[in-house]
């Protein structure tokens, strides 16, 4: 094997909050350019797993690797901080509630991290912001504050902010579920565009149609375990596991009503 590690490698991830076991021995390998969707009922541990990937919710057991670097390595405080800040630069994350910085204009939201962490000059940072905001179709709003944008626009800016760090992987935690239905599509289009550019992505979503159309692989999680995983047409059209079938049936009924 030329590459001993898959691109993102989650090995036997375990996570407990106190006595509550939220992730029970989850393993997941994602190759470069792959797009993986994680679906499952509320409380099944999807966000926890995604947040473990950049150590926002550190695991209580198991390992997480990005290429040849272990993300959750236990190190003395200072070394840990340095290590984690370096890896996090390579992992973009998009949150359900956008988490744009409200005190900064769109432009500064995008340039803040590149300027602080990569030492970009104002000119370079501006060019970068313009490039990323053009990609997500938000260049016209570059001098607006987040409070002046719609939810869909905020989320597109949040994606541009993450992309500006030139991450190797993008994590999406229900990027569209806080949006009004008519604003979902504009964000989905941006994510599809990233997929076409072969961005590696892990997407937690409740939108089965979207997952089916962009993802290479789907994981169905329930109560902290991966119940079933496979290509989208199998998981969505022909799931083998009873729990997967029940979830999808309920979910489709819910979405239709």
Partner 1 sequence: MGLDFSVIPKYLDIVLLGAVWTIAITIGAAVVSFFGGILLAVIALYAPKIIRWPFQAFSFLFLGTPLLLQLFLIYFGLVQIGIDVPAFMAGVIGLGLHFAVYNSELFQTSILAVDKGQAEAARTLGLSRMQTLRKVVVPQAVRDVIPPIGNNMIALLKDSALVSVIGVSELTLSAQRAIGSTYRPFEFYVLVAAIYYIINLVMEAVLRHVERRIQVSR
Ligand X SMILES: Nc1ncnc2c1ncn2[C@@H]1O[C@H](COP(=O)(O)OP(=O)(O)OP(=O)(O)O)[C@@H](O)[C@H]1O
Interface contacts to partner 1, rule CB under 8 A: 54, 56, 81, 85-86, 88-89, 91-93, 95, 97, 99-104, 112-113, 116-117, 145, 147-148, 158, 161-162, 165
Nearer to ligand X, 8 or 120 (CB): 8
71 binds ligand X (CB under 6 A): no
Regarding beta strands 217-222 and 225-230, do their DSSP bridges make them parallel or antiparallel, or are they unpaired? antiparallel
48 binds, among Mg ion, ligand X, partner 1, none (CB under 5 to 8 A by kind): ligand X
Q: Is 97 in the site for ligand X (CB under 6 A)?
A: no
**Least distance to ligand X, CB of residue 74, Å:** 20
Per-residue b/e over 157-177, b at no fewer than 16 CB within 10 Å?
bbbbbbbbbebbbbbbbbbbe
Identify the CA nearest to 53 among candidates 35, 40, 34, 71. Answer: 71
What is the rounded CA–CA span in Å between residue 6 and residue 10? 9
Indicate whether 47 belongs to the interface with Mg ion (CB under 5 A): yes
Contact stretch for Mg ion (CB under 5 A) within 32-40, 45-53, 64-72, 149-157: 45-53
Q: How near is the Cβ of 22 to Mg ion at its closest, in Å? A: 11
Q: Which of 256, 216, 255 is nearest to 235 (CA)?
A: 216
CB of 98 closer than 8 Å to CB of 161 = no
Query: In 3D, which of 160, 141, 159 has the Cα closest to residue 150?
Result: 141
State which of residues 2, 4, 19, 42 lies at the interface with ligand X (CB under 6 A): 42
- Concatenated DSSP letters of 67-79: TTEETT----HHH
Q: Which of 69, 42, 72 is CA-nearest to residue 56? A: 72
With respect to partner 1, which residue has the nearer C-beta, 201 or 218?
Answer: 201
Q: What are phi and psi of 218, to 5 degrees?
A: -125, 135
CB of 73 to partner 1, least distance (A): 17
Distance of CA 27 to the CA centre of its chain: 17
C-alpha to C-alpha distance for 234 and 225, rounded to whole angstroms: 19
Asked if 161 touches ligand X (CB under 6 A), the answer is no
Q: How far is the CB of 22 from ligand X (least distance, A)?
A: 4
User: Of ligand X, partner 1, Mg ion, none, which one does residue 95 interact with (CB within 5 to 8 Å by kind)?
Assistant: partner 1
42 binds, among partner 1, ligand X, Mg ion, none (CB under 5 to 8 A by kind): ligand X
Residue 139 contacts by C-beta under 8 Å, 6 or more apart in sequence?
Answer: 130, 133
With binding defined as CB under 6 A, does residue 46 bind ligand X? yes
Residue 232 binds: one of ligand X, Mg ion, partner 1, none (C-beta under 5 to 8 A by kind): none
Count of residues engaged in binding ligand X, rule: CB under 6 A:
11
Shortest reach from residue 21's CB to Mg ion, in Å: 17
Spatial CA neighbour of 244 closest among 257, 255, 225, 174: 225
Footprint on this chain of ligand X (rule: CB under 6 A)? 17, 20, 22, 40, 42-48
Footprint on this chain of Mg ion (rule: CB under 5 A)? 47
């Amino acid at each position: 094997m030329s590459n001993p590690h898959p691109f993102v490698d989650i090995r036997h991830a375990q996570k407990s909050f106190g006595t509550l076991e939220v992730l029970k021995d989850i393993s997941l390998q994602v190759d470069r350019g792959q797009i993986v969707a994680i679906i499952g009922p509320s409380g099944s541990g999807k966000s926890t797993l995604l947040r473990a990937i950049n150590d926002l919710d550190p695991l209580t057991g198991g390992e997480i690797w990005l290429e040849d670097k272990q993300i959750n390595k236990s190190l003395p405080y200072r070394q840990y901080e340095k290590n984690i800040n370096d890896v996090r630069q390579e992992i973009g994350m998009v949150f359900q509630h956008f988490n744009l910085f409200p005190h900064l204009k769109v432009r500064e939201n995008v340039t803040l991290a590149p300027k602080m962490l990569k030492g970009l000059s104002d000119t370079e940072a501006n060019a970068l912001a313009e490039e990323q905001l053009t990609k997500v179709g938000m260049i016209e709003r570059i001098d607006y504050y987040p409070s002046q944008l719609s939810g869909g626009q905020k989320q597109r800016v949040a994606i541009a902010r993450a992309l500006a760090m030139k991450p190797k992987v993008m994590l999406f935690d229900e990027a569209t579920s806080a949006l009004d239905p008519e604003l979902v599509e504009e964000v989905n289009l941006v994510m599809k565009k990233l997929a076409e550019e072969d961005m590696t992505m892990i997407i937690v979503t409740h939108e089965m149609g979207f997952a089916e159309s962009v993802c290479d692989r789907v994981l169905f999680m329930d109560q902290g375990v991966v119940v079933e995983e496979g290509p989208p047409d199998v998981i969505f059209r022909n799931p083998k596991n009873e729990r997967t079938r029940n979830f999808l049936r309920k979910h489709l009924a819910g979405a239709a009503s």
